[in-house]
Amino acid sequence: MSDWRYKFGENKGTVIAVAIFVVMFAIYLFNHPAITDQGFTVTAVTNVVNTACNKGVVLALVAMAQTLVVVTAGIDLSVGMVFILCNCLASIIVIGSPVQTAVGVLGVLAIGAVCGAINGVIVIFGRLQPIVTTIATGAVYFGAALWLRPDPDVADAFNNDFAAAMMGQLPGGIPASLLGLVVIALVIWVPFRRSTIGRAAYAIGSSEVAAYMSGVPIRRAKFTAYTLSGLLSAMAGLYLTFTTASGEASLANGNTYTLYSIAAVVLGGVSLFGGSGSAIGAIFGAFAYRAIGDLLFDFDVEPLWQPLFQGIVLLLSVCVGAAQLVRVRNRLDLFG
Amino acid sequence: MNTPVPLFQMEGVSKSYGGVRALEKAGLTVQAGRVHAILGENGAGKSTLIKIMSGVVAPDEGRMVFDGKEVTFPSPAAANRAGIACIFQELSLLPDLSVADNILISDPPKRFGLIDRKRQRALAEEALARAGAEDVHPLAPVKDLPLSRRQMVEIAKALMRKPRILILDEATSALTAADVTKVFAVIKRLRAEGLALLYISHRMHEIAELADDCSVFRNGRHVATYQAGTKSDADVVEMMIGREYSHVFPPKPAPASRETQPVIEVRNLSWTNRLKNISLAARPGEVVGLGGLDGQGQRELLLALFGVLKGLTGEVLVDGKKVEVTSPRQAKGKDIRMALIPEDRKTEGLMLPMSVGDNLSFAALSRFARGGVIDRTAERNRVAEMMKVLSVKSAGTDLPVGSLSGGNQQKVVIAKWLMIEPRIILLNDPTRGIDVGTKQEIYQLLRKLADGGAAVIFYSTDYDELIGCCDRVLVLYDGEVKRVLEGDQITERALIAGALNISTSEVSTGKGAGA
């Protein structure tokens, strides 16, 4: 019976993220102009949900990428750049016939995974701090994106049918992008979480020394975490390309997504100290963060207020997490 | 006596850490189905020995034979696979993961390549039961468990690996009496099952109850192995003694008068379960030592006085007036003028990349500042003065402090605190890993400071230092002051007996019989 208490404890961060999301999205939905104009019709609701999903999925994927690294007590500041690089690459190679498109998609995913793997190798064998490593590699990846797409451009012969299918609605009004996200979570996150490697990633984040003493495969786990992070960033890049049908090496966009991914991870209850939290929480954190931003549009507030409002909500949720520090008995532990 | 083929044997194993010999040509023979106790004082080489056995450090030379085959362990995982599991003093648990995750961390049960949580839970429950810890919930996160429960989880985790040799390093030091009874029952059952158990403890009565064989280590060397019960406590202490006096200590003055007002007085100080009812007083000119084995609350006591710990009970009086110190900043302030020379100079004492001069003036900056601006000339003069007093060997005060030798770094840490002209000086094992020459300078300095009217409270793991430097030594055991030694009473024999918490009469009669 008390199992539930512990299971809740383990997933508390995720539950809170879901709650924040539900509240924020409900406010967003009820005040959305489309709903207030047309009332609660099926079309209106599914349309609003679909748009929200298509916007949210991109950030959700980058946040999942961030989660994998944060769980190991690292941080990946290159997720936004891998995302931009893959967007530029996708706008060039995800074109033409279905076969060509499929090959293009695989190519983009492979490049993303390679970018992540490079981060992993440098962190593991170079013994550099993740934050420094990924700032540097992020700049390199962005350089590569600029080289691919010196000027923003619409993809030639872009496979619009495929993109439309990925971003459209399935029978019953279910957003295709949401289904895609669920499939990605089931194929990547769930096996990771439940494998020895995933367990090792959490162990490293919790205490790397204890993990080493317990004979946990530290290198393999870190390598996997960084590589999958690159792969998920590439998927986000693909989704962005589906929405925009173009590629742009935008530094601002890359930086924004990197920072937002950290915000989403924190909202999602993933500890930046590593060792606890879930990518599912981060997904809800990402959707919640998006909803908080979009909320202001409902009330015709100037978009300039968006960062301020998002920042305040983020700050409040972090404060809740810091409340436990009040109980610390040895002041040196505050600096741990 | 029949001598079956040993399960594990170690011969001529040595290990040095940066010039310091931790283990020298040590040997050990372990038999299956027996509990083998390892004895020795601080720095005798016990922890190095078990670290080598469990693959944490590689020996410089020597060989190990396990089950008739010569072995080397490049990592803890390799030692685990071979069948050696170790329960470390510093816990090897992962705080954020659940008890079940922790117990099966090395080899979780799998189904279709993924971890089978149901089976994992069942196995964890079984292991907890085997360790006598049925009350621990397998899904509880380890960080929420009290220390004694964590230790039980640690034991369950080690048993899960089905070891043939189980090493318990101070495994009972965090346990409650009820748990100790349970652990003993587990150990005895494992022995009956044919495991070899290595038991490191400083609790003599535990060793008397459990051990079949005992080995004594001293200064990194194996001194003797004997069957349990064949030696008295006094003989054992005798075997553990034997470091030659290699330091030169300044002469001690006559003891301060009892009537003198203590600079600092502590009454019934307690903190969580780590400090219990500690009382002490230090008068001007006194050097008060803290003795005992490592980790008996000495560090916590110094931190408590320096205002680092929250939730203290008891009283602290400075100059006869009650004070409540709540931060190091307050402690060093002009009302109290207390300094703490920390344990780890690299993290708590110095900013390694910054210059010698900057490091020296950190604690005393307010003394050179006028309206918040630092008076560079005053600072430079005072720094130069300090460098001379301590004869810190440095090419200049602008060099990063990280480029100095360990001994000179430590002198910088001490000098930094002398800049505030402290009246109460707390030192946490200040000579660890420092060359003999610098040690002597530090001893001279301590005495000089005391002669100048300061009260010094000095924790050391080196018994010679306590004997040579201190006017009085408080021996701590399990967070309590178990013995106060004064003047001629401060002998290595008394210090070791106190550290092991065995009665003096036992030891002195032993000495009498031996003489």
**Residues B97-120, mean pLDDT to the nearest whole number:** 89
Q: Which residues contact B473 (CB under 8 A, 6 or more apart)?
A: B288, B289, B290, B291, B466, B484, B485, B486, B490, B495
Give the pLDDT score at B509: 39
Q: How far apart, in whole angstroms, are the C-alpha atoms of residue B43 and residue B483? A: 22
A214 to B105: CB separation less than 8 angstroms, yes or no: yes
Asked if B105 and A213 come within 8 Å (Cβ–Cβ), the reply is no
> Residue A15 burial by CB count (10 A; 0-12/13-18/19+): exposed, middle or buried?
middle
Instruction: Look at A215 and B303 and tell me if their CB atoms are within 8 Å.
Output: no
Range of lowest pLDDT (A72-76, A253-257, B264-268, B435-439): B435-439
Q: Minimal CA–CA distance to A134: which of A82, A205, A68, A211?
A: A82
Query: Over 70: is that where the pLDDT of A236 sits?
Result: yes
Among A249-263, B329-343, B460-474, name the most confident range. Answer: A249-263
Using the beta-carbon criterion (under 8 Å), do A215 and B110 form an inter-chain contact? no
Whether A206 sits inside 8 A of B98 (CB atoms) is: no
Determine whether the interchain pair B105/A203 forms a contact, defined as Cβ–Cβ distance below 8 Å. Answer: yes
Q: Regarding predicted confidence, which is higher, A66 or A297?
A: A66
pLDDT at B170: 80
Decide if B310 and A328 are in contact by the 8 Å CB cutoff: yes
CB B476 within 8 A of CB B443: no
What residues of B are in contact with residue A195 (Cβ under 8 Å)?
113-115
Distances (CA, A) of A235 to A96, A111, A178: 19, 11, 13
The predicted pLDDT at position B393 comes to 67
- Residue A11, min C-alpha distance to chain B (Å): 12
* pLDDT tens column, A210-227: 888 887 889 999 999 999
Min distance A331 CA to chain B CA atoms (Å): 5
B513 pLDDT above the threshold of 60: no
Which residues on A lie below 8 Å from B140 (Cβ)?
Answer: 6
pLDDT of residue B281: 93
What is the least distance, in Å, from the CA of A208 to any CA of chain B?
9
**Residue A205: predicted pLDDT:** 92
Taking one residue from A and the other from B, the number of pairs with CB-CB distance under 8 angstroms is 94
- For residues A7-17, give the mean pLDDT: 85
**Tens digits of residue pLDDT in B433-446:** 676 677 888 888 88
Q: What percent of chain B has pLDDT over 90?
A: 28
Q: Check pLDDT > 60 for residue A1.
A: no
Interface of chain B toward chain A, CB-CB under 8 angstroms: 56, 75-77, 80-81, 88, 91-98, 101, 105-106, 108, 110, 113-115, 117, 137, 139-141, 157, 271-272, 303, 307-311, 327
Task: Find the mean pLDDT for residues B480-488.
Answer: 90
* pLDDT at residue number B19: 62
With 90 as the cut, is the pLDDT of residue B348 above it? no
The single-letter code of the amino acid at B481 is: V
State the pLDDT confidence band at B321, using cuts at 50, 70 and 90.
very high
CB B195 within 8 A of CB B163: yes
Stretch A105-109: mean pLDDT: 96
- Given B75, B95, B141, which is nearest A207 (Cβ)? B95
**Token output for B391:** 């004869």
When CB atoms are compared, the residue of B76, B115, B141 closest to A196 is B115
Mean pLDDT of chain A: 89
At what angle are helices B147-160 and B117-130 packed, to 10 degrees?
A: 110
Q: Each residue of B110-163: pLDDT tens digit?
A: 888 889 989 999 999 999 998 888 889 999 998 888 777 888 898 899 888 889
pLDDT value at residue B511: 38
Least confident piece of the model among A165-169, A198-202, B62-66, B309-313: A165-169
B331 contacts on A by Cβ (under 8 Å):
none
Res. B512: pLDDT tops 50: no
**Mean of the per-residue pLDDT values of chain B:** 84
> For residue B18, what pLDDT is reported?
64
Instruction: List chain A residues with CB under 8 Å of B91.
Output: 210
The most confident of A27-31, B172-176, B238-242, by mean pLDDT: A27-31
The structure tokens listed for B282 are 């230090």
Point out the residue among A2, A202, A329 whose CB comes nearest to the CB of B97.
A202
What value, to the nearest 5°, has the Cα angle with vertex A304 and ends A302 and A307?
125
Question: Looking at CA atoms only, how far is residue A228 from chain B in angstroms?
Answer: 17
Report pLDDT for A311: 87
Is the confidence at residue A2, as pLDDT, over 80?
no
DSSP state of A265: H
Helical packing angle, A306-322 and A12-30, nearest 10° = 150
Q: Which of B76, B271, B308 sits opposite A212 (nearest CB)?
A: B76
Lowest mean pLDDT among A32-36, A49-53, B304-308: A32-36
Tokens standing for residue B6:
């040993």
The shortest CB-CB distance from B310 to any of A195, A213, A329 is to A329
Query: Is residue B504 scored above 80 in pLDDT?
Result: no
Do the Cβ atoms of A210 and B327 come within 8 Å?
A: no
Cβ B108–A330 below 8 Å, yes or no?
Answer: no
Asked whether residue A234 carries a pLDDT value surpassing 90, the answer given is yes
Residue B506 has pLDDT above 60, yes or no: no
Residue of B51, B53, B97 for testing the chain A interface, max A β-carbons within 10 Å: B97
Query: How high is the pLDDT of residue A102?
Result: 92
Which residues does chain A have within 8 Å of residue B96's beta carbon, measured at their own beta carbons?
Answer: 202, 205-206, 271, 274-276
Strands B264-271 and B313-318: antiparallel
Max mean pLDDT range (A111-125, B124-138, B216-230, B320-334)? A111-125
* Of the candidates A23, A105, A83, the residue with the CA atom closest to the CA atom of residue A230: A83
**What's the pLDDT at B100?**
93
**Of A2, A214, A330, Cβ closest to residue B106:** A214
The confidence band for B248, taking pLDDT boundaries of 50, 70 and 90, is confident
On chain B, the residues whose CB falls within 8 A of the CB of A7 are 139
B271 chain-A contacts, CB cut-off 8 A: 329
The pLDDT-based confidence of A180 (bands split at 50, 70, 90) is very high
Distances (CA, A) of A14 to A201, A281, A318, B145: 18, 4, 14, 22
Q: Which of A149-153, B173-177, B207-211, B293-297 has the lowest mean pLDDT?
A: B173-177
If you average pLDDT over residues A138-148, what whole number do you get? 96
Q: Are the beta carbons of A195 and B115 separated by less than 8 Å?
A: yes
Full-model pTM: 0.76
